Structure 1
């Protein structure tokens, strides 16, 4: 409850700020598939971030000089990790409806577990990668873990506050409070906290999570030196119950017997376990212009950049009695894996009107992953740490040429215990404001996640040290956007030496394996919207095809989302209303199962899941800068059959009604 009280305190404090009237001109919603976490984000501006800030510095100064002059909504800038500049968007659109959830981004392709803050099962996968290092592992706990790429920076003419609130399941709430201010045209800071506590409908699935973010950015008056930094601390705790018991709870759930509609009386596999993922990160980026751009005709720019990042995180599983996962060294289980990673990169950036933008970089990764004890199993000692230094070199390229926007990036580990390399190229062409096309290629070779290479547990069968080959992927992708008709994207990937989890035939417990055959994976996605008067039909259809004779990568063939909705102004345009019904559906497939000890999903080929519809009815409204959301989730659950699962033995949500708001203040 401390997290919720902290969030509510921030809400009460910032709610004292007076709201400012913002011009009615609507900000166009972003069409990027990977949406930034803040709900305030609007259209992507295809301008250099520095140039946009220079222009808005003048607006910021004039706003302070004249009390009568009000800032324009487009002056409230949001800058992504990749330096894409967007602006605050307080409109009410169907995309906002899709993002009004725990992750605060469109979660198409994911299906949540029954309680808010639990994990999500993936219905689709992307194998495009520019990483040279293994990931930590415990991937099921990382959906709400904010990475470097998820943190935004800000530039605002007046203080900006955003308050997010949504009801949870049973006891608890979800709240996200955000505040940012420019103390001068050159200096900005922001502070935010998202807190959740939710008891859930089933036994022992309480969730308690917190994400604290602090960012700051500064540039000198002559724009020669600029720096940005963020500090993030996160703790994501889940009680775990291992899912419903096969007998009799699964049968009792699926029959829909009235006495078992109270989900708390269904028996679960255990009630004495929890896992937690905690992390803290300090990240710093700064650049100095050796040759400063004097005017728009300048041909040469040269700058030196430096990126420094330190992250300390751990995943811990505790259980008061050793059950369900086989024999154990001791009765009380406490497994903890830690990772300390220090990232240090030096960049040399050169720009020329003819050549384009070039970057050369050298990077050092100092990593220390593992456990505090040695394990001796069958006479062999399993090491407890993987640590060392990786030195890598890379580069980036960007050029606009005759209507084409060309980008390239590559990286290579040159020394250290982990081999790795990647190369990525992208070309985009914009015919006009309505029609654009993007083509990209990506090759990647990287070591599997740390927890597949080394894992230690008080459970005997969950101890291993593997020497897997690098996972290698090649992907080609294409996207065509026609604003008035459709957005079509397609990608084709080949994956070699794919690493996955499944149950071992001998121990019947989950372990890591490597597929030595090649997997071919095709995805085609269509998104369009049809409008007739005040009615609209928004459609998203995903087709997937996998060629994998070992059945290690399983996805549904079709995943569909359709929303029929009505939009209109009411009460002399004092309110804007949207109401409609959303239909979600995916075809049957061998859905991955969930292992709470590892916090990983694993392959199962015993039973197919899917082909259950999910219908949500919503009524959303906007009054000035406040968006109000009311939704009846899965209202068809009682009459379309109790066969809805997020993972084997883990049911999806029953019918429930939830309420929430997003409220912006402009001082």
Structure 2
């Protein structure tokens, strides 16, 4: 693997040097694309150069749903290393399972949310499910392609291919697909997922009408085995020779799989009713509208269910399936002025249909099989910049007696200098628990309940503040109070059968998080440190998190081949303190609270070599290379071992045509 890596680096280096020699000749034939943010800055000279035929990296815009705009970044940084994974996000507070595409155990929770409608079932399957806020829109001067590739664990690969183009200054579209297949090292642990995305945005020449929308289709399939048996867990810890080949383990079962699929059609549009911008007046009044429809289902299939891992079953074959149809539309006005800022108010309508096509009788009573409701609501927002102050806020509520919910979100920030800013945030949210807490049906007798009349809204308040400074440090503190916290709980365990039920905690929970990040540089060497401290106060242990999470990266950066090749190499140290980690239930595809088994307290060391040639970033990593000499007591969740030592390779390649 290392030989192939060095060969590829050498080939790309030659290509990079050769391309640099030709650059001056090629400038006469086509526009130059300046794509490296390490050599381009936002000075007036660089920006004006775009008028002479150069397309700068800042022209390749990425726009979020909240209209926050960034640009394509082709640099090689340690933050890119943290995001080079299946989720393509920094997973500092997540603990991966053994196979790529499986779920993650959450080491830290963020209670701030503006969502006031219950979430769908199978939240453990939603880490790679792309929601509305995860979709980005684009505006590019030339066609842009982004290719992500990374090897997996036995018989498979993961690839994320993306392409976007502006056919004119007014119209852009993008198309992307992320696919994964990985057999894994354990029996019946195959993962196969796909995420298709299509986005578009358009505005008229005068800019009065704007539109953007997306179509997303996703399917996330996982085989399930229930984890290792208690007997094999001890053999794993003892590192017995006959089970060093992980495929010889006999897991709890080998005949089940779950699948989450979803389709979403989303459209946002606005029309400027009044617009004036000159030296005297500057204002805009717009009519705005959103239409969104999402159709999702989750299913759990298992043959020969008589193995009784989940208890008694009504039939020998389990075919559980739950669906959700969610329609949302809003209509409102926004007013924008340089003095007053931006003010928006909308009236919205929601129609939901969650449930099952069958009726279940439990204790001689029929369990309701549907939650159907349509209701109106409202939301408003405000945003303004006053000197160095930035303030924003939003508020919303459901006008429904059944799907109750409301939220308040307020943010402010102050920029002391380019190297130091302060921010604060207040979030208040009251909303119902997730749908599968309220209603669930299964072919297993233990997994049937109707809590629609038993559970109240979950009430949370979070106050957070911090500082951002690459020169000094980045620090974030949040304090949360949660009432009516609702979760899945391990109620009892008899003869190997776990009784897991949703319950609502009627007392208050106080939750403190302190996160500090600082990078220390000395010449070409650097030490990047991220540490999080957590503390939970409650009468009963219902929200379990490790008190300490840390990631420390020591690395070296240099440039060779006349600076055509930039590389970084180093070691990443990950650690979280021992705690009662949440267990994983493969039937629900949810995590549950348990206070019997502790995991954690083990180090994870990764060695990496990353390189960059022009717009290509190459990654080689020896993951968990310390597994053979620091002990085999490493787990992602009870009965689910973490990954053994492995070497993985991949790249991210950008094309600017």
Normalising to structure 2: TM-score of the pair? Answer: 0.92
Q: CA deviation at 1:260?
A: 1.2
Listed one character per residue, the Cα deviations across residues 269-309 of structure 1 (whole Å, up to 9, x for unaligned) are 00000000000000000000011233365333100100010
| Counterpart mapping for 1:208-223 below 5 A | 208-223=192-207
Q: How many residues align structurally?
A: 619
Whole-angstrom CA distance in 2 between matches of 1:664 and 1:295: 40
* Pair 1:27–1:473, CA change in 2 (3 A): farther
Find the aligned partners of 1:354 and 1:657 in 2 and give their Cα distance. Answer: 56
Name the structure 1 match of 2:272: 289
CA distance in 1, matches of 2:199, 2:623: 35
CA drift of 1:479 comes to 1.5
Report whether the alignment pairs 1:272 with 2:251.
Answer: no
Q: Find the aligned partners of 1:650 and 1:607 in 2 and give their Cα distance.
A: 12
- 1:451 aligned counterpart, secondary structure: helix
1:187 paired residue number: 171
Work out whether 1:315 is the aligned partner of 2:326. no
The CA deviation at 1:503 is 2.1
Q: Contact 2:624 / 2:646 at 8 angstroms: preserved in 1?
A: yes
Check the 8 A contact 1:20/1:665 in 2, yes or no: no
Give secondary structure in 2 for the equivalent of 1:106.
coil
Aligned positions of 1:602-641 closer than 5 A:
602-641=592-631
SS of residue matched to 1:405? strand
Q: Does 1:154 align with 2:141?
A: no
User: Among residues 467, 470, 480, which one is paired with 1:483 in the alignment?
Assistant: 470
Distance 1:433 1:153 in 2: 28
SS in 2 for 1:254: helix
Check whether the contact 1:27–1:89 (CA below 8 A) recurs between aligned residues: no
1:436 counterpart = 2:417: no
Q: Which residue of 1 aligns with 2:640?
A: 650
2:400 to 392, 411, 415: 415
Structure 2 Cα separation of the partners of residues 419 and 345 of structure 1: 18
CA 1:100–1:133 in 2, change beyond 3 Å: closer, same or farther? same
Q: Which residue of structure 1 aligns with residue 313 of structure 2? A: 328
Corresponding residue for 1:503? 490
Aligned-CA RMSD value: 1.9
SS of match in other structure, 1:204 = coil
Q: Distance in 1 between matches of 2:649 and 2:152?
A: 9
Q: Which residue of 1 aligns with 2:580?
A: 590
The offset of 1:21, in angstroms, is: 5.9
TM-score, scaled to structure 1: 0.91
Cα distance in 2 for residues equivalent to 1:296 and 1:112: 56
The superposition leaves residues 597-632 of structure 1 with CA deviations (integer Å, 9 ceiling, x where unpaired) of 000000110121100000000000000110000000
Distance 2:606 2:492 in 1: 41
Map of 2:18 onto structure 1: none
Separation in 2 of the partners of 1:263 and 1:170?
A: 12
Contact 1:279 1:314 (8 Å CA) reproduced: yes
Larger mean CA deviation between 508-517 and 562-571 belongs to 508-517
Residues of 2 paired with 1:644 and 1:297: CA distance?
67
Q: Distance in 2 between matches of 1:179 and 1:94?
A: 25
* Aligned mates of 1:346, 1:562 — CA distance in 2: 48
Partner secondary structure for residue 253 of structure 1: helix
Partner of 1:458: 443
Kept after mapping to 2: 8 A contact 1:320/1:333: yes
Structure 1 unmatched ranges of 5 or more: 1-17, 29-41, 46-54
The question of whether the paired residues in 2 share the 8 Å contact of 1:390 and 1:417 is answered with no
Can you list the C-alpha shifts for 1:232-259, whole angstroms capped at 9, x where unaligned? 0000000000000112x11110001222
Gap change, CA 1:27 and 1:551, over 3 Å in 2: farther
Q: CA deviation at 1:504?
A: 2.6
Q: 3-state SS of the aligned residue for 1:610? A: coil
